[in-house]
Structure 1
Amino acid sequence: MAAFPLRPQAAESKGRAAQADSGFYAALDLGTNNCRLLVGTPSPQGFRVVDSFSRIVRLGEGLTATGRLSQPAMDRAMSALSACADKLGRRPLRGFAAVATEACRRAANGSEFLARVNRETGISPRVICAREEAQLALASCSPLLQPHDRRAILFDIGGGSTEIAWVRLNGGAPELAGTISIPVGVVTLAEREGDSCFTREGFEAVRDEVAEKLAAFDAVHCIGQEIRQGGVRLIGTSGTVTTLAGTVMDLPRYRRQWVDGVCLDAAEADEALETLFRMGRQGLAAHPCVGPDRADFVLPGCAVYAAIRQLWPVSRLTVADRGLREGMLMRLIQGDRGRAPRRPWC
C-alpha cells in the first residue's frame, strides 16, 4: 500500500496546527470521466497551486447499461489514483480531502471499488451528494461573482450528471437557494446517443430533453422572471464551457490561465457552439482545445449547455476552469483558519 504523511480519513480529525497559513493541502476529485488532484499552499487570495494532476479515466463507462463499474474502467481509475498517491507522498500534508461523485453514487459496486482504492493506495474517497457538489463548486467560483450581482446560475456539466445551483447574493455572501442534479452528463449521453448528437435532429432532441428536465426547477425559483429583472450572472464550470471559451478566443492551445474567469458574450458562445458542431468528430479530434480523448463528449455537453441557454437567456457567460478540488482546498484552509466548519453539507 502506498502511504503519505496524512491519510485522507484523518484530514478532518487532525487538530489545527500553530501555523494555519503554512503547509500543503491537497484535494482529489474522482468523477465519472476524470480523476483530478490539486495541491496548494495558503495565500492571501486563497491558495497557491504547487502541483496538479488530471487524467481522463472514464470510470462511468458502461454504467448506464449495466449499473456497475466495469473492470477496465476501475483499472484505469486505479492507475490514475496510484499516480496521485505517489504525488501525495512527496509532501507532508496539513490537510487532505478526497471525494467521489456520480459514478460511485450510482454503481452497485461503487463501495466495493472504493474499498479497493483504500487498500491499494491509502486514499479513501468519500461519496458526496449532488448538493455538496454544488456547495463545493460555489465555494470555488464565488470569487467570480461581482458586487452588482443579485443572483447567479452556476452549472457544472459533468460526466455522469449535470448540477445546477441557484444562488442568492443580496449584497452579502453567496447563499445556495436551490439545487438540482439531473442524471445526464457527457459520458452518459455519448454512450446513449452514439453518433446522434453529431446530427442536427439528435442534438436538438437532447437539448429539448434537458430543458424539459430543468423546467420545474425554473418554475419553482422563478428564474426566468429574475433574469428579466436583471442582475443574474450565468457561470459555467466544465470542459464544455472552457472549450467554448477556447473556441471564441481562437486559442492555439488550451491554457487554464487564459480561460478561467473570462466573461463571454452569450452570442459569441452560441457561434462557437455552431463552429464545433460543424467540425464533426474528426475536426473536434484535431481541435487544439479538444483532442481525440474528448471528441465524443463535446457535442453532448454542448447540447446540455444549449438547453441551459434556451431556458435561461442571460446575455453573458462567465467561464470557470475550477470546481470541486478548489472548493475542497478552500474548505480545508478556511477550516484551519477557523472561518468555516469542516463538515459535509449533506
Structure 2
Amino acid sequence: MNTADRTVTEQDLDTLSLQLGRPVRDVVEIGARCVCGSPLVATTAPRLSNGIPFPTTFYLTHPVLTAAVSRLEADGEMTRMNERLAEDAELAAAHREAHEAYLAERDRIGRLSGVGEVKEIAGISAGGMPERVKCLHVLVGHSLAAGPGVNRLGDEALEKIAPWWTPEACRCDGAWDASAEVPTKDLSRHVKHLEKVEALKKVTVAGIDCGTNSIRLLIARPDEQDPETLVDVVREMTIVRLGEGVDATGEFSAAALERTFAAVDAYARLVQRHHAGAVRFVATSATRDVQNRQVFVDGVTQRLGVEPEVISGAEEASLSFRGAVSALPPGLDPQDRVLVVDLGGGSTEFVVGTAAGEVVDAVSTDMGCVRFTERFLPDADPTEDQVTAATAGVDEILDHVAGRLPLETVSAVVGVAGTVTTVTAHALGLEDYDSERIHATVLPVDEVTASARALRTASREERAAMGFMHPGRVDVIGAGALIWSRIVERMREVAGVTDVVTSERDILDGIVLSMKDH
C-alpha cells in the first residue's frame, strides 16, 4: 500500500464504524487499505480509552476480507498450521520472528498514541504467537500491515483466501451500507491524536539527498527550548550506488534503480511515521546527465508523493555550504573566507563563502570517489601507473577550480561527506564510526594525508575489517582518499592552510534548513 496513506481521517473512522457495525475504538493508523482507499486493517492503541489493555494491534475490519478468513478457519486451516509448527523447526522459528515483529510494532504504536508501554500485555503478542495459531484474522492483519515476508503464516493465509478476496481487487461495493447512519462513537482519543498529527505536520520537515553513491534522509523539527533551532528526529544513510556504471553507459542500471527505490520505500515509511508535513527530495550529480532520468523521477514520485528536484551544481554547492559551516570552531571573524568541499560519489563541489554562511562563488566538478574509481582505479590493488593517472586527473580539475575561485583568500577549509568523514575516523583511530566525535574535528594537513595514503594503500580485506568503514565505501575509498589528500595539499600550497575541519553537517542539513526558511 502507499505508505503515505496510514494517517487516520474522520472519513476513515466513519467507514470503520460502518464496517464493524459498532463504534470504532482508539484507532491510531490505518494498517492497510483496499486499492480504492477504504480501510482493511485498523491499527489500534495497546490500551483502550476505558483503560483495558488491547493486544490485537492489527484488527481486520473489511467484511469481505473478515468473512474469507473466517471461512479458512472453519475449514480447519489453524489445525493444519499448528501441526506444521510442531514438525517444522524453520517454520516455528519464522513464527517466533513474526511474534517479535508484532511486539515491536505495538511498542511503536504505543509511543505514537501516547499510551506508552502496557505492562499487562508485555511480551504477549496475539493470534497464538509465538507457539501456536489461535486466530488467523490476527496473522492476516499483521501480514497486510507489515507487508510480505514478516508473518509467514499470515502470508500463506492470504494466498489461501484468494478465491474470495485478494489485495489486488476492490470488494467494497455492497460490503457495508455506506449510506447508513454512522454508529455513535467517542472520538476523544481520535480527535486528540489527529490534532497532534496535524500539529507535527506543520513543523516537521524531511530532506532527502540522493547522490551517486548514497541516499540519505533527515527528518527534523524545532527544538522545544529553542524553536529557531532544528533538531534531528531521524538521520539515515543507505549506500545504493545509483551512479554505478553511469560514466560508461550514460544511464542508470536496472539494479541501481531497484536498490534506490527500495531505500526510497523505507524512507517513505519513516516520513509517514514521523508526520513530516513537508518533504524535499534533492537529486545531484549523475542524475543531471543520465538518459533515463525520467524513470528515476517517476519511480521516486510514485513512492514518495514528491517529485525529486534535479538541482544544478551551483545550488548543490550552496546547500552544502550552508550545512557545513556549522562545524567551524568559534572565534572566526564572520567575514573570514571559508572553503567548503563536498566530496561525493560522482561530483565534488567547491564553495567559497564567509564564516557567517554567505556564499561568494562555487564550482561543481565531475570528480568523485565512484567516478574516479571507475575511471582510474578499477582494480582492488591499483598499479602505480593507475595512481599516477588518477593524481593527474585530480590535479587537472584542481587547476580548473583555482582558476574559478579565489582560493588564496581562504583562511579555513571544511570537508564534508563520507570520504572525508572516513579519512577522519581513521586519523582519530576510531574502532567504530562515531558521528559525534568526527563532527567538527580539526586535523593537521599532514595527518589527513597520512590517513588518506593508509586507506588508499590498504588491501580490500584490510579496509573491510575497519570498524568505521561503511561496507558500501570499501571499494571506492581509495579514490576518495586520494582526491581529499590532493585537495588539502593544494590548499596548504595556495592559502597557507595548516588544518582542515570535518563536518557531519552537509547538503542534507542545508536541504532541511532551506525548508525551514519557507
Report the TM-score range of the alignment, normalised by the length of the smaller protein. Answer: 0.7 to 0.9
Following superposition of structure 1 onto structure 2, how do residues 180-329 of structure 1 map, counting pairs within 5 Å? 180-193=363-376, 194-195=378-379, 198-224=382-408, 226-227=409-410, 232-313=411-492, 314-329=497-512
Do the aligned partners of 1:265 and 1:316 also contact (CA within 8 Å) in 2?
Answer: yes
Larger Rg: 2
| CA drift at 1:42 | 1.2
Do the aligned partners of 2:317 and 2:349 also contact (CA within 8 Å) in 1?
Answer: yes
| CA drift at 1:310 | 2.9
Do the aligned partners of 2:488 and 2:500 also contact (CA within 8 Å) in 1?
Answer: no
Do the aligned partners of 2:343 and 2:419 also contact (CA within 8 Å) in 1?
Answer: yes
Matched with 1:162 is 348
Q: Does 1:115 align with 2:307?
A: no
Matched with 1:333 is 516
Find the residue that maps to 2:306 and give its secondary structure: coil
Matched with 1:98 is 281
In structure 2, stretches of 5+ residues that fail to align are: 7-197
Find the residue that maps to 2:511 and give its secondary structure: helix
| CA drift at 1:129 | 0.7
How many pairs are equivalent? 316
**How big is each residue's C-alpha offset from its partner over 1:296-343, in whole Å with a ceiling of 9 and x where there is no partner?**
1111101211221232112111001122221111122233xxxxxxxx
| CA drift at 1:125 | 1.2
| CA drift at 1:197 | 7.2
| CA drift at 1:147 | 4.3
- Counterpart amino acid of 1:299? G
| CA drift at 1:84 | 0.7
Cα distance in 2 for residues equivalent to 1:205 and 1:192: 10
Equivalent residue in structure 2 for 1:33, among 213, 224, 233: 213
Equivalent residue in structure 2 for 1:135, among 315, 318, 328: 318
Cα distance in 2 for residues equivalent to 1:323 and 1:306: 19
- Counterpart amino acid of 1:94? G
Find the residue that maps to 1:92 and give its secondary structure: coil
Matched with 1:153 is 339
Cα distance in 1 for residues equivalent to 2:255 and 2:200: 41
**How big is each residue's C-alpha offset from its partner over 1:153-201, in whole Å with a ceiling of 9 and x where there is no partner?**
11111111111111145xxx33222211111211111222302874444
Judging changes above 3 Å, is the alpha-carbon distance between structure 1 residues 21 and 79 closer, same or farther for their aligned structure 2 residues? closer
- Counterpart amino acid of 1:161? S
Cα distance in 1 for residues equivalent to 2:478 and 2:220: 33
Find the residue that maps to 1:181 and give its secondary structure: strand
Cα distance in 2 for residues equivalent to 1:84 and 1:333: 20
Do the aligned partners of 2:219 and 2:276 also contact (CA within 8 Å) in 1?
Answer: no
TM-score (norm 2): 0.57
Judging changes above 3 Å, is the alpha-carbon distance between structure 1 residues 83 and 190 closer, same or farther for their aligned structure 2 residues? same
- Counterpart amino acid of 1:4? A
Do the aligned partners of 1:2 and 1:122 also contact (CA within 8 Å) in 2?
Answer: no
Structure with greater strand share of residues: 1
- Counterpart amino acid of 1:207? T
**How big is each residue's C-alpha offset from its partner over 1:78-121, in whole Å with a ceiling of 9 and x where there is no partner?**
10000111111113223221111112111111123211221244
Cα distance in 2 for residues equivalent to 1:281 and 1:102: 26
- Counterpart amino acid of 2:348? T
Percent identical pairs in the alignment equals 28
Do the aligned partners of 1:235 and 1:317 also contact (CA within 8 Å) in 2?
Answer: yes
Cα distance in 2 for residues equivalent to 1:78 and 1:283: 31
- Counterpart amino acid of 1:2? N
| CA drift at 1:222 | 3.8
Find the residue that maps to 2:277 and give its secondary structure: strand
For the aligned residue pairs, the C-alpha RMSD in angstroms reads 2.4
Cα distance in 2 for residues equivalent to 1:332 and 1:5: 23
Judging changes above 3 Å, is the alpha-carbon distance between structure 1 residues 68 and 221 closer, same or farther for their aligned structure 2 residues? closer
| CA drift at 1:64 | 0.8
Do the aligned partners of 1:41 and 1:50 also contact (CA within 8 Å) in 2?
Answer: yes
Q: Which runs of 4+ in 1 moved over 4 A?
A: 18-22
Cα distance in 2 for residues equivalent to 1:127 and 1:61: 18
Cα distance in 1 for residues equivalent to 2:234 and 2:326: 21
Q: Does 1:82 align with 2:265?
A: yes
Following superposition of structure 1 onto structure 2, how do residues 21-60 of structure 1 map, counting pairs within 5 Å? 23-43=203-223, 44=226, 46-60=229-243
Q: Does 1:2 align with 2:2?
A: yes
Bigger shift: residues 157-166 or 85-94 = 85-94
Find the residue that maps to 1:187 and give its secondary structure: helix
Do the aligned partners of 1:285 and 1:292 also contact (CA within 8 Å) in 2?
Answer: yes
Q: Larger RCO: Structure 1 or Structure 2 (Cα < 8 Å, ≥ 6 residues apart)?
A: 1
TM-score (norm 1): 0.84
Judging changes above 3 Å, is the alpha-carbon distance between structure 1 residues 144 and 322 closer, same or farther for their aligned structure 2 residues? closer
Cα distance in 2 for residues equivalent to 1:220 and 1:36: 30
Do the aligned partners of 1:24 and 1:93 also contact (CA within 8 Å) in 2?
Answer: yes
Cα distance in 2 for residues equivalent to 1:134 and 1:221: 13
